[in-house]
Amino acid sequence: MRRRLYQAVAVAVVLTAGATVSNPVLSADLYADAPLYDMAPVPPQDLFEGWYLGGTIGGASVSYDLAPAPPGSVSTSGMLGGVIGGYSWQHGPYVIGVEGDFLASDISGGRRFNGGLNKVSPGFDTLADLRLRAGYTVLPNLLLFGTFGGAWADADLPISGPGGGFAEATFFGWSAGAGAEYAFDQNWSARFDYQFTDFDAETISYPGGKETYDPDSNTFRGSILYRF
Q: What is the mean pLDDT of residues 194-200?
A: 98
* pLDDT score of 9 more than 70: no
Give the rounded percent of residues in the chain with a pLDDT score beyond 70: 81
Domains and CATH numbers, the chain: 1-40 (no CATH), 50-227 (2.40.160.20)
Task: Encode pLDDT of 110-164 as tens digits.
Answer: 999 999 999 999 999 999 999 999 999 999 999 999 999 999 999 999 999 999 9
pLDDT of residue 35: 52
CA atoms in the 13 A half-sphere facing the CB of 174: 5
3-state secondary structure of 19: helix
pLDDT band at 34 (very low <50, low <70, confident <90, very high): very low
Q: What is the mean pLDDT of residues 48-74?
A: 94
Is residue 93 reached through a cis peptide bond, with omega within 30 degrees of 0 on the bond before it?
Answer: no
- 118-120, strands of its sheet edge to edge: 111-113, 118-120, 159-160
pLDDT band at 69 (very low <50, low <70, confident <90, very high): confident
Position with higher pLDDT, 110 vs 32: 110
DSSP β-bridge partners for residue 192: 180, 222
Distance of alpha carbon 195 from its chain centroid, rounded?
10
pLDDT of residue 44: 58
For residue 165, the 8-state DSSP code is: B
Q: What is the mean pLDDT of residues 178-206?
A: 97
* pLDDT score of 22 more than 90: no
* pLDDT score of 42 more than 80: no
Task: Encode pLDDT of 90-104 as tens digits.
Answer: 999 999 999 999 999
* pLDDT score of 30 more than 70: no
pTM of the entire structure? 0.78
pLDDT band at 167 (very low <50, low <70, confident <90, very high): very high
Radius of gyration of the chain (CA): 34
Mean pLDDT of the chain: 86
Q: Which residues, at least 6 apart from 152, have a Cβ–Cβ distance to it below 8 Å?
A: 127, 128, 129, 170, 171, 172, 173
